[in-house]
Amino acid sequence: MLRNRVITALILAPLVLAAVFYLPPLGFAIFFWVVAALGVYEWTGLLKIEQVWKRVSFVGVYAVLALMVYQVPQHYANILTLTCLLWVFAAIAVLRFPRDIELFRQPWLVAIVGLTIATGAWVSLMVIRAHDQGSLWLLWILVLVWGADVGAYFAGRAFGRRALAPAVSPGKTWEGVIGGGVLAGLVCGGAIILWQTG
């Protein structure tokens, strides 16, 4: 597990960083659309879609949606607002789980959630990148997420005892949450120090 994570990071991290800092806006949008499309393909597993052609067709729906969205940057703020509201809905759903579970087994709802999340994440990357020093902000976000993930992984494996949400994800622990938060905090503090001294 750890070995696979390290290998994946060593392969993908340089590609992602190169895309963040060196690709022009259109190339950046295409690169991260491909990343989002891979996520959409994986999302079809939650829809219980087994046939490859149906999975690819669902990605095709996302491609059309993304193309439409890309052409209306004046509505990016609305899309991001909708995505944030969806995340609030998702947080409530996790807290209520497994109550109302039948609602979340509806394919149409799972499909809409997946398309909205993928589109919102993609748009947010483009919006951040377009700002002054946007590439640096994206780097900070990536390092912060990686730090939280690494801290949670190692703290969870070393000290994990109390389950965070056993009905949702039995492998996650409160110790992992604390470890991820600590390392993420250290990353933030280090970034601020570097920013001020640079």
CA 66, chain centre distance (Å): 16
**Residue 191 pLDDT greater than 80, yes or no:** no
Residue 5: pLDDT band (50, 70, 90) is: low
Whole-structure pTM over 0.75, yes or no? yes
What is the CB neighbour count within 10 angstroms for residue 62? 22
Q: E strand or H helix at 197, and its extent? A: helix 174-197
* Residue 3, amino acid: R
Checking if the pLDDT of 62 tops 90, the result is yes
Instruction: Kindly write down the DSSP assignment for every residue of 95-139, as one continuous string.
Output: HHTTTTTTGGG-HHHHHHHHHHHHHHHHHHHHHHHHSTTHHHHHH
Q: Is residue 11's pLDDT more than 90?
A: no
pLDDT one-digit tens code per residue, 116-164:
999 999 999 999 999 988 998 998 888 888 888 888 888 888 887 888 7
Give the span between the Cα atoms of 181 and 74, in whole angstroms.
Answer: 35
- Using CA atoms, how far apart are residues 81 and 122, in angstroms rounded to an integer? 14
Residue 26 burial (10 A CB sphere; 0-12, 13-18, 19+):
exposed
Identify the band that residue 43 occupies on the pLDDT scale cut at 50, 70 and 90.
very high
Interaxial angle between packed helices 25-43 and 107-130, expressed in degrees from 0 to 180 and rounded to the nearest 10: 160
Confidence of residue 108 (pLDDT cuts 50, 70, 90): confident
What does DSSP assign to residue 24? Answer: -
- Per-residue pLDDT reduced to its tens digit, 70-83: 999 999 999 999 99
Residue pair 172/103 in contact by the 8 Å Cβ criterion: no
